[in-house]
A and B are shown apart, each in its own frame.
Chain A
Amino acid sequence: MANSDLSIPQPRLKAPLLFLSVLLIASCGLIYELVAGTLSSYLLGDSVTQFSTVIGVYLSAMGLGSYLSKFLQRGLARRFVDLELAVALVGGFSAPILFQAFAHTHAFRVVLYFVVAAVGTLVGLEIPILMRILKDQVRFKDLIAGVLTLDYIGGLFASILFPLLFMPKLGLVRTSLLFGLLNAAVGLWSTHLLVSLLGPTRMIRLRCLAVMALLAVGLAFAGKFTLAMEEEIFADEIVYAKDSAYQRIVLTRGRGSFQLFLNGNLQFSLADEYRYHEALVHPAFAAMPDAKRVLICGGGDGLAVREVLKHASVQEVVLVDLDPAMTDLARRQPMVRELNGAALDDPRVKVVNADAMVWLQDTAGAPFDLALVDFPDPNTYALGKLYTSRFYRLLRSRLTEDAMIAVQSTSPLMARQSFWCIAATMEAAGLKVHPYHLAVPSFGVWGFVLASKRDFPVPTHVLPGLRHLSDEATAAMFAFPKDMDRVPTEVNRLDNQLLVHLYAREWRRWS
């Protein structure tokens, strides 16, 4: 094929060094593929399907790229550098883009395959173009042998280092950005190797530096999205992280489940949250089956609301949660919204963003028939106050005479004294209590206190059709084995806040 480039005398190129760049771009290409496969396996589960489809789309896109290479005619060296930069950008930012798509849209799969196809196509263009640049420098049999050897060996490097080094040390986001940077560096290096073919290189080098700068900024910003420290704390990949005015909210996804953490403490796991929320909500309803007005303190994830709305008698639910970022997450984040069944947008539900204790103290209104108290465990004084006799007295004053209360009360096994301290404190506030517990594998053995102003029998019936609770299972929750049975404790008051100390001491043994 007659090419105007070739009509002029062909300058000598640094062929061995260009072969080295084949090694590097081959590694980069495989890394993007591995990142996409790993990331989709984490987020969607079923790694066989995810890896098969990602590899399939990627390889076929490479085929498409190779085919399209024949339409590139002129200025091949310049095209090659541009190609490196394009791969660097799309491949480098692939992991952050995919995480954002997962956290904020419903169209994760569309974005996933589009990104994989785009990277594959661009990578498919690289080798044919490079071979055409080198074809007059190197004999064809040497060319094909050299390029393909290094291409495949580059793949080996990447596939060994990815699981052993890059994933554990850097995580997906930083790995993809780092290899993007490497890709762009190859582009910049090529402007040196191919200088005789490029003509003026100033602009093209500036472009390389701009892309590298962009990726470097992304790498620095990756620390904001995910703290390196957190990656060690959380077993799974972080898909959403936000510092609200009150707490750090993190969603992680992995092994076919997802989890919500507040300040590093697990709040729920998709795998077993139904056990927790059924146990929090339905025993109280069993004793107050026609409850109309329900108060929920805490529980901004909307999962308790989901259970409450299963009861036809409910006419109004007031959810008081401190953090608007949490209730917004429950309304807008696709995974959480799907899990809570869009409960917070139900017309019966009113969301109030306030400190529940201050709200109870400073507001007035019609009394509630049922109150569910679902705060994080008392590991700070600001949380500890929500477990004091003053809190339960305030709560009591906002309830009807027959109202039922259920309170999440940490683990009676791991923090036995803390658990019974909560029950004793509720009694000191003039409530009759029946504590209960069940196994929530993500948390361990978990406890609640069912309470009312008057004596009441232990519930024996629950709503039919639940996933975990049956009548038999409900009754069984109220029996305490010897190692979790009642221990004498003092009352947690505002002026002693002894639960905060007790809780810290008991949980320290398990960490």
Chain B
Amino acid sequence: MKRRDFLAATTTSTLALACRRKPEFPFSGELIGPDLALGHWLRGGAFADPDHFEPISTLIVGGGVAGLSAAWRLTGGGLDDFQVLELEREPGGTSRSGRNHVSAFPWAAHYLPAPDRGNHAVLRLLKECGVLEGFDAKGAPIFAEEATVRAPEERIFAYGQWWEGLYLRAGDCAEDERQYHAFFREVDRWAAFRDGQGRPAFSIPRSRCSDTPEARALDGLSFAAWLDARGLTSPRLRWLLDYACRDDYGSHLESTSAWAGLFYFAARKQGPGEDSRPLLTWPQGNGFLVDHLRRTCGDRLRCGVAATSIRPDRDGLLVTGWDAVNQRRLGWRARRVIFAGPQHVAKHVIEGLEVARPAMARIHNAAWLVASLTLRARLREPTFPLAWDNVLRDSEALGYVVATHQSLQDYGPTVLTWYRPFAGPDCAVERARLRAMDWPACARMVMADLRPAHPDLEGLVARLDVMRWGHAMVRPEPGLMWDPDFLALSRPFGAVHFAHTELSGLALFEEAQDHGLRAAEEVLAALGRRDGSWR
């Protein structure tokens, strides 16, 4: 080989090597839970029994907001003989949060609308956390300023620049404005509605809502059909409402119940004509509330432990479990069980449940992709400045929230949490699509989504981690919300009580908490402990 040929060959191969080695992105990251393997392994069934069944008064299966709230309520009722089993290594379910050297940040749910004075349970929790400071002369709750979302709350990217707010006023016409106001007049009408017993049509949690036929009729049609019937066709208005549905329900207007669509707006109104109640948030999102609840649980919370079967026994229930941390079988003889996991898990764990309750098949969960981007420095912001919630109009994703917004840090590194619901019509198809995505595919999706708004993003990302939520939130599809068989899923099954936000057909912190308290109060009553309700 001549020297020149040798040089050429070496250069070519080095170049080829260099090209191959060059990573697609100048940053690293990974796919983070939830633990798909362990979760899906439960479906296999047929686990051998453990050697010993530990007697316990109550076992709570699931350490999300519903389970932790049930534990909070049991402790408050003086019942300490319980444990909370959580499959994942961290509690909180879809209110989980993460923390790195820059900031704490949410992994999913990241705000709570300030509760009205009638929402006693949330007010009690916020008082314990130091967020409720008292009541004003009119009896309205006063919340700590640092917990209310700091302005600017929202901005939207459209026409190549950022604009203040979520409703895009730039370039709208008189008809858009008219329809916008017409819609919110309709919302006001529903916000003012009271039935014969004085109950509102829409309130949070939904257990406070009226079941009057007039309101229930809304559940018979999709939000899209309801809007069509009123001639509300403005693309801007429809975009805003579709965004709201994707954001809170993981579904489009067409697959959302009109009852749920109006619930989103009317239940948050302080009163007709008034603004929506302010939002409460924390750097770690609703992880702040989870942190408080888990503290009240103490060492009764056991993470990395899955309940594998629940079956009736002479005077209670036999529960088997798998300790994934120590790799061993566990067993309990429990008087009561609060199953605070989703129904699609319950049917594999609770003996006889699936056959007895076919309505559980009506629950469809939307899949979500959530990415956490750690930035070395701030993005260039030549137009409207960075807000807490940053939304891109021409995107299937929902945009991102900024973790350091609420901690007041306006300079230097930050963490963005980016959200995308897979809102297609068939949840199972969407879930399969999400499961097939590896880290580079996820990173590519995130970067492609944000690039138009932030051309300088790639050079500032230090890390991009991804959470794939296969069953992120229940979809309030038309007909589900007031289906008696669906609502009956909340009722006890023998000595098993149920607590989960999906039992409301709405994935909200308040719903999860409400079910947690209800289930805990059912247990307290069954065990002969009389106590006033916290709900």
Residue numbers in B under 8 Å from A358 (CB-CB): 407-409
Q: Please tell me which stretch of B77-85, B142-150, B232-240 contacts chain A, meaning at least 4 of its Cβ atoms lie within 8 angstroms of it.
A: B142-150
Asked if B385 and A495 make an inter-chain contact with CB atoms under 8 angstroms apart, the answer reads no
Residue numbers in B under 8 Å from A381 (CB-CB): 151-152, 385, 410
Q: Is A361 an interface residue (CB 8 A)?
A: yes
Asked if B146 and A494 make an inter-chain contact with CB atoms under 8 angstroms apart, the answer reads yes
Which of B148, B408, B409, B410 contacts A495, CB < 8 Å?
B148
Q: Please tell me which stretch of A188-196, A388-396, A414-422 contacts chain B, meaning at least 4 of its Cβ atoms lie within 8 angstroms of it.
A: A388-396
Asked if B145 and A494 make an inter-chain contact with CB atoms under 8 angstroms apart, the answer reads yes
Tell me the nearest residue of chain A to B409, going by C-beta: A358
Q: In whole angstroms, how far apart are the Cα atoms of A33 and B518 in the complex? A: 89
Asked if A495 and B411 make an inter-chain contact with CB atoms under 8 angstroms apart, the answer reads no
Asked if B410 and A494 make an inter-chain contact with CB atoms under 8 angstroms apart, the answer reads no
Q: Is A496 an interface residue (CB 8 A)?
A: yes
Q: In whole angstroms, how far apart are the Cα atoms of A323 and B146 in the complex? A: 24
Asked if B145 and A355 make an inter-chain contact with CB atoms under 8 angstroms apart, the answer reads no
State whether A355 and B411 are in contact (beta carbons under 8 Å apart), knowing that A381-B152, A497-B152 are contacts in the complex: yes
State how many angstroms separate the Cβ of B247 from the closest Cβ of chain A. 20
Q: Is B492 an interface residue (CB 8 A)?
A: no
State how many angstroms separate the Cβ of A425 from the closest Cβ of chain B. 11
Q: Is A277 an interface residue (CB 8 A)?
A: no
State how many angstroms separate the Cβ of B456 from the closest Cβ of chain A. 15
Tell me the nearest residue of chain B to A496, going by C-beta: B151
Which of A245, A389, A500 contacts B145, CB < 8 Å?
A389
Number of A-B pairs, beta carbon distance below 8 Å: 49
Q: Mark B392-423, 1 if CB is under 8 A from A, else 0.
A: 00000000000000011111000000000000
Q: In whole angstroms, how far apart are the Cα atoms of A358 and B407 in the complex? A: 8
Q: Is A174 an interface residue (CB 8 A)?
A: no
Q: Is B312 an interface residue (CB 8 A)?
A: no
State how many angstroms separate the Cβ of A123 from the closest Cβ of chain B. 47
Residue numbers in A under 8 Å from B411 (CB-CB): 245-246, 322, 355, 382
Q: Is B278 an interface residue (CB 8 A)?
A: yes
Residue numbers in B under 8 Å from A357 (CB-CB): 408
Q: In whole angstroms, how far apart are the Cα atoms of A355 and B411 in the complex? A: 9
Name, among B145, B148, B152, the residue most crowded by chain A CB atoms within 10 Å (CB to CB). Answer: B145
Q: In whole angstroms, how far apart are the Cα atoms of A361 and B283 in the complex? A: 14
State whether A390 and B385 are in contact (beta carbons under 8 Å apart), knowing that A322-B411, A385-B150 are contacts in the complex: no
State whether A355 and B410 are in contact (beta carbons under 8 Å apart), knowing that A381-B151, A381-B152, A497-B151 are contacts in the complex: yes
State how many angstroms separate the Cβ of A494 from the closest Cβ of chain B. 4
State how many angstroms separate the Cβ of A272 from the closest Cβ of chain B. 31
Tell me the nearest residue of chain A to B153, going by C-beta: A495
Q: In whole angstroms, how far apart are the Cα atoms of A500 and B384 in the complex? A: 13
Tell me the nearest residue of chain A to B377, going by C-beta: A245
State whether A361 and B150 are in contact (beta carbons under 8 Å apart), knowing that A393-B145, A493-B145, A494-B145 are contacts in the complex: no
Q: In whole angstroms, how far apart are the Cα atoms of A493 and B385 in the complex? A: 18
Q: Mark B366-395, 1 if CB is under 8 A from A, else 0.
A: 000000000000000000010000000000
Residue numbers in A under 8 Å from B385 (CB-CB): 380-382
Of residues 353 through 382 on chain A, the ones whose CB sits less than 8 Å from some CB of chain B are 355, 357-358, 361, 380-382
State how many angstroms separate the Cβ of A389 from the closest Cβ of chain B. 6
Q: In whole angstroms, how far apart are the Cα atoms of A322 and B410 in the complex? A: 11
Residue numbers in A under 8 Å from B153 (CB-CB): 495
Which of A246, A355, A493 contacts B148, CB < 8 Å?
A493
Asked if B150 and A495 make an inter-chain contact with CB atoms under 8 angstroms apart, the answer reads yes
Of residues 421 through 451 on chain B, the ones whose CB sits less than 8 Å from some CB of chain A are none
State how many angstroms separate the Cβ of A391 from the closest Cβ of chain B. 9
State how many angstroms separate the Cβ of B153 from the closest Cβ of chain A. 8
Q: In whole angstroms, how far apart are the Cα atoms of A233 and B407 in the complex? A: 35
Tell me the nearest residue of chain A to B411, going by C-beta: A246
Q: In whole angstroms, how far apart are the Cα atoms of A393 and B385 in the complex? A: 26
Residue numbers in B under 8 Å from A382 (CB-CB): 385, 410-411
Chain B residues in contact with chain A, CB under 8 A?
A: 145-146, 148-153, 278, 385, 407-411
30 A-B pairs with C-beta separation under 8 A: A245-B411, A322-B411, A355-B408, A355-B409, A355-B411, A357-B408, A358-B407, A358-B409, A361-B146, A361-B408, A380-B385, A381-B151, A381-B152, A381-B410, A382-B410, A385-B150, A385-B408, A389-B145, A390-B145, A393-B145, A493-B145, A494-B145, A494-B146, A494-B150, A495-B145, A495-B148, A495-B150, A495-B151, A497-B150, A500-B151
Chain A residues in contact with chain B, CB under 8 A?
A: 245-246, 322, 355, 357-358, 361, 380-382, 385, 388-390, 393, 493-497, 500
18 additional A-B residue pairs with CB within 8 Å, beyond A389-B145, A494-B145, A494-B150: A322-B411, A355-B410, A355-B411, A357-B408, A358-B408, A361-B146, A361-B408, A380-B385, A381-B151, A381-B410, A393-B145, A494-B146, A495-B145, A495-B149, A495-B153, A495-B278, A496-B151, A497-B152
Nearest 9 pairs between A and B by C-beta?
A: A497-B151, A495-B148, A382-B410, A390-B145, A494-B150, A494-B145, A357-B408, A358-B408, A495-B278
